[in-house]
Amino acid sequence: MVPLIAWRNVWRNRLRSLLVALSIAVGLWGGTFFMAVSWGMYAHQLDTVINDQVSHIQVHAPRFRDDDDGRYGIPEADMLLDSIRTDLRVKAATERIVLPGVMVQSTANSAGVSVLGIDPEDEEKVTGLHDRLTDGTYFTGTKSAPMVMGAKLAKKLKIDLRGRTVISFLNAQDSLVAMSFRVVGLYHSGNSALEEGTVYVRREDLARQMHLGTPANEIAVLLTDEKDLDAVQRKMQAIRPDMRVESWKELSPELRLVVDSFSQYTYIFIGIILLALMFGIVNTMLMAVLERTRELGMLMAIGMERRRVFAMVMWETVYMAVIGAPLGMLLAWVSIQVVGRTGIDLTAFAAGLSSYGFDAVIHPALAANFYLEIAGLGIAAAILSAIYPAWKAVRMRPTEALRKI
Amino acid sequence: METPVIETRGLTRTYDADTVPVHAVNGIDLRVEKGEFTAIIGPSGCGKTTLMNMIGGLDEPTAGHVLIDGEDIGHKSANAMIAYRLHHIGFVFQAYNLIPVLTALENVSFVMLLQGVKKRERQQRAQELLASVGLMDKLDKRPNELSGGQQQRVAVARALASRPRFVLADEPTANLDSHSTHDLIDLMAELNRKDNMTFLFATHDQRVIDRARRVVTLEDGRIVKDEKRG
């Protein structure tokens, strides 16, 4: 009967109880929606880094990574690539010759870039470079060596389509080589750093001057499903223990940190919301208890044990939390679904967002387990906040309580 | 000599009103036998409610003892005292003090629920008690749907529900009109006569005093008169 009394007590002051339930709902909705917006931003950044840039896994010679030097190739790269492609978990894989820290010059300006020598058809499947072209062609329409560069870099170099560039680098034989390319295509990326710092040329063009002695110094692998990452990485490492097989987590540690710390700092934010919520609940429940001082005194006078009085106040809060938390989660789910489709347009801040790798249109999204966790946290916070009012209720002395009007 | 239901020995309650101590109850010796219908009277502030509270285990004496059926209840912890009240003492308060969210039937059943009585038995007994106080047609009414007199009758039924050794009623008629007061006194007198239930009232109400078979008068925390009537 104690839960029944508590349930009926909840509805003694409908407006107040509804306000408490609503404050729980709105608090959780706000926290969840913020979490979804944050995740939407990072999911896009993660998606950009994996699909446009580093892929899931890359293979290099150890010294390539240690010295950041493109002259260290992957011996028997073709054989390794064929082996990788036979794995059904691999969506696409490609070879590259990568030259980090190369100077690219136009007639007007110069910039430090990474030059990626790619196989255009394979690259299309791995990074979708073709789909990001905003102007020009995809390595066609010229007899010269073609180059595709970011639109922002082109602007920086003051170069147009069909313009000529020269790159200079040391080849594997330690000879300084200068190669001329004609810009045939411009691409756009949501990541400014990528767009301003990476140019694409044909691998075969670079290979002629690099004299690597092997077809590539990088193999990039895109998986069908992220969850296979560790298993495929282990398998590839086992095939080529002499090479360094790294996932995007090692290749882009700053992004890994962001993803790993996402839950932590969003939970901190939700914790702050819940703390504010708890103060509200403590205040309301305390008021509800103090209003019923006489009644609580009577209950203890006629023989209701303190633990039951305590449980009654706790039940009242649990009921309000159980009404408020699912309502908040429903609100959050609906709003995330709706806004997730339409997106939040922050085009006005596009330049700033892009420099951090964020898209200008954010699509909030959240995994199902977060809804349950946040709802659980909300209910737990409500229960915790009821402890003090419940304790106050049982500390009353019946005689003093009965004297209250 | 038979053990009295209620006995107080040198019962004293002193309040520290800032620096000047106030003796609300000052060395009261009182014996209430089984089946008595006793009124404690006296002017406001004479110590009636304080005495009732100490007999009911709601307040602790500064000195002296309260014995219920010969057992000194002064050494019980707060939790043990709550359990003791539940099983041995029925309370009727001036302001009815029913649980507002429960019906009349539920209010009466509630005490038995706390005692651990099975549902069927408590439903049956609650109905019988409400029938005995003339409220069989109000079982499903909540307190706010009942008159003051009806609420106080529910309170009497609730006080009896736990099969107590005695009922303490503190100003039970103070909020009632004349008609309801007569009905309530008749009801309690009938329960006293029929079931030999011991009633101890604290009251100002002359109508209650007139029906009491024993009247104990307090002044300044002491018994100044103890009158038994035929």
* pLDDT in 10s for each residue of chain A, 405 residues: 788 888 888 888 888 888 888 988 998 898 888 888 888 888 877 887 888 888 999 999 999 989 888 899 999 999 999 999 999 999 999 999 999 989 999 999 999 999 999 999 999 999 888 888 999 999 987 778 999 999 999 999 999 999 999 999 988 888 999 999 999 999 988 778 888 999 999 999 999 999 988 899 999 999 999 899 999 999 999 999 999 999 999 998 888 887 778 777 777 888 888 888 888 888 888 888 888 888 888 888 888 888 999 999 999 988 988 899 899 999 999 999 999 888 888 877 777 776 666 777 888 888 888 888 888 888 888 889 989 999 988 888 777 666 643
Q: For residue A187, is it within any domain?
A: yes
Measured between CB atoms, which of A8, A305, A402 is closest to B101? A8
The answer to whether B101 contacts A398, with C-beta atoms less than 8 Å apart, is no
- The structural domain count of chain B equals 1
Chain A 77-116, CB below 8 Å of chain B: which residues? Answer: none
Q: Give chain B positions within 8 Å (CB) of A305.
A: 79, 82-83, 114
Q: Give chain B positions within 8 Å (CB) of A298.
A: 91, 93, 97
Radius of gyration of chain A (CA): 31
More confident residue, A263 or B11: B11
- Residue type at A329 in one-letter notation: M
Residue matched to tokens 């995994």: A367
B219 pLDDT higher than 60: yes
Question: How do residues B201-212 score in pLDDT, each as one tens digit?
Answer: 999 889 889 999
Is B60 in CB contact (< 8 Å) with chain A? no
The answer to whether A304 contacts B97, with C-beta atoms less than 8 Å apart, is no
Task: State the pLDDT at residue A405.
Answer: 39
Q: Which residue of B has its CA nearest to A298?
A: B97
CB pairs A-B closer than 8 Å: 62
Considering the domain architecture, whether residues A42 and A161 belong to the same structural domain is answered as no
Considering the domain architecture, whether residues A158 and A217 belong to the same structural domain is answered as yes
Q: What DSSP letter does each residue of B109-136 carry, written as one string? A: HHHHHHHT--HHHHHHHHHHHHHHTT-G
Pairing of strands A146-150, A176-187: parallel
Q: For residue B136, is it within any domain?
A: yes
Is A311 in CB contact (< 8 Å) with chain B? no
Considering the domain architecture, whether residues A275 and A234 belong to the same structural domain is answered as no
Chain B 91-150, CB below 8 Å of chain A: which residues? Answer: 91, 93, 95, 97, 99-102, 106, 109-111, 113-115
Q: For residue A116, is it within any domain?
A: yes
The answer to whether B162 contacts A305, with C-beta atoms less than 8 Å apart, is no
**What's the DSSP call for residue B171?**
S
B63, two tokens: 């000195």
| Range of the structural domain that residue B211 is part of | 6-223
Q: Are B134 and B184 in contact (CB under 8 A)?
A: no
The answer to whether A294 contacts B114, with C-beta atoms less than 8 Å apart, is no
Residue-wise burial string across B47-79, b where 16 or more C-beta atoms lie within 10 A, e elsewhere = bbbbbbbbbbbbbbbbebebbbeeeebbebeee
CA gap B134, B140 in Å, rounded = 14
Complex confidence, ipTM = 0.86
What pairs with residue B216 in β-bridges? Answer: B40, B226
SS3 category, B53: helix
Q: Select from A175, A208, A242 the last residue of a domain.
A: A242
Q: For residue B54, is it within any domain?
A: yes
Measured between CB atoms, which of A302, A306, A402 is closest to B85? A302
pTM for the full predicted model = 0.70
Q: For residue B63, is it within any domain?
A: yes
Q: Select from A242, A272, A293 the last residue of a domain.
A: A242
Q: For residue A211, is it within any domain?
A: yes
Q: For residue B58, is it within any domain?
A: yes
Within 10 angstroms of residue B217's Cβ, the number of other Cβ atoms is 18
Measured between CB atoms, which of B91, B95, B100 is closest to A301? B91
Three-state SS for B6-33 is EEEEEEEEEEEECCEEEEEEEEEEEEEC
SS3 category, B229: coil
Q: For residue A347, is it within any domain?
A: yes
- Any idea what the Cα angle at residue A112 is, between residues A111 and A117, rounded to 5°? 110
CA gap B210, A51 in Å, rounded = 96
| Range of the structural domain that residue A269 is part of | 2-49+256-403
Sheet containing B20-32: which strands, arranged edge to edge? B20-32, B6-17, B63-68, B71-72
Q: For residue A10, is it within any domain?
A: yes
Q: Which residue of B has its CA nearest to A401?
A: B58
CA distance B135 to chain A (A): 21
Q: Which residue of A has its CA nearest to B52?
A: A399
pLDDT band at B133 (very low <50, low <70, confident <90, very high): confident
Considering the domain architecture, whether residues A279 and A167 belong to the same structural domain is answered as no
Task: State the pLDDT at residue A357.
Answer: 65
Q: Give chain A positions within 8 Å (CB) of B86.
A: 302-304
Q: For residue A209, is it within any domain?
A: yes
Q: For residue B230, is it within any domain?
A: no
CA distance A299 to chain B (A): 8
Query: Which residues neighbour B161 within 8 Å (Cβ) at sequence distance 6 or greater?
Result: B90, B108, B109, B111, B112, B122, B125, B126, B129
Task: State the pLDDT at residue A242.
Answer: 94
Q: Are A59 and A80 in contact (CB under 8 A)?
A: yes
CA atoms within 13 A on the CB side of A153: 33
The answer to whether B100 contacts A295, with C-beta atoms less than 8 Å apart, is yes
Q: Give chain A positions within 8 Å (CB) of B115.
A: 303
What are phi and psi for residue B129, nearest 5 degrees? Answer: -65, -40
SS3 category, A144: coil
The answer to whether A303 contacts B78, with C-beta atoms less than 8 Å apart, is no
Considering the domain architecture, whether residues A263 and A129 belong to the same structural domain is answered as no
Measured between CB atoms, which of A295, A303, A397 is closest to B111? A303
Query: Which residues neighbour B113 within 8 Å (Cβ) at sequence distance 6 or greater?
Result: A1, B122
Question: How do residues B33-72 score in pLDDT, each as one tens digit?
Answer: 999 999 999 998 899 999 999 999 988 899 999 999 999 9
Q: For residue B1, is it within any domain?
A: no
Three-state SS for A223-290 is ECCHHHHHHHHHHHHHHCCCCEEEEHHHHCHHHHHHHHHHHHHHHHHHHHHHHHHHHHHHHHHHHHHH
Considering the domain architecture, whether residues A38 and A149 belong to the same structural domain is answered as no
Q: Which residue of B has its CA nearest to A7?
A: B101
CA gap A203, A173 in Å, rounded = 18
Considering the domain architecture, whether residues A268 and A364 belong to the same structural domain is answered as yes
Considering the domain architecture, whether residues A199 and A79 belong to the same structural domain is answered as yes
**What's the DSSP call for residue B140?**
T
What pairs with residue B201 in β-bridges? Answer: B39, B169
User: Which of B99, B122, B142 would you mutate first to test chain A, the one with the most A CBs within 10 A?
Assistant: B99
CA gap B75, A321 in Å, rounded = 41
- Residue type at A110 in one-letter notation: S
Q: Are A74 and A59 in contact (CB under 8 A)?
A: yes
Residue matched to tokens 């389509």: A161
Task: State the pLDDT at residue A371.
Answer: 86
Kindly compute the dihedral angle of the four CA atoms of residues B227, B228, B229, B230, in this order, to the nearest 10 degrees.
Answer: -160
Measured between CB atoms, which of A9, A12, A303 is closest to B82? A303
Considering the domain architecture, whether residues A296 and A158 belong to the same structural domain is answered as no
Q: For residue A54, is it within any domain?
A: no
Measured between CB atoms, which of B58, B95, B113 is closest to A399? B58
Considering the domain architecture, whether residues A15 and A150 belong to the same structural domain is answered as no
CATH of the domain at B168: 3.40.50.300
Considering the domain architecture, whether residues A230 and A261 belong to the same structural domain is answered as no
Q: For residue B45, is it within any domain?
A: yes
Q: Give chain A positions within 8 Å (CB) of B103.
A: none
CA distance A5 to chain B (A): 7
Q: For residue A248, is it within any domain?
A: no
Q: For residue B229, is it within any domain?
A: no
- The structural domain count of chain A equals 2
- The CA–CA distances, whole Å, from B61 to B88, B94, B159 equal 19, 22, 24
Considering the domain architecture, whether residues A362 and A287 belong to the same structural domain is answered as yes
Long-range (24+ apart) CB contacts under 8 A made by A228-237 are A228/A89, A229/A56, A229/A57, A231/A89, A232/A56, A232/A57, A232/A87, A232/A89, A232/A90, A233/A57, A235/A87, A236/A57, A236/A59, A236/A84
Q: Give chain A positions within 8 Å (CB) of B158.
A: 302
Q: Which residue of A has its CA nearest to B168?
A: A302
The answer to whether A302 contacts B111, with C-beta atoms less than 8 Å apart, is yes
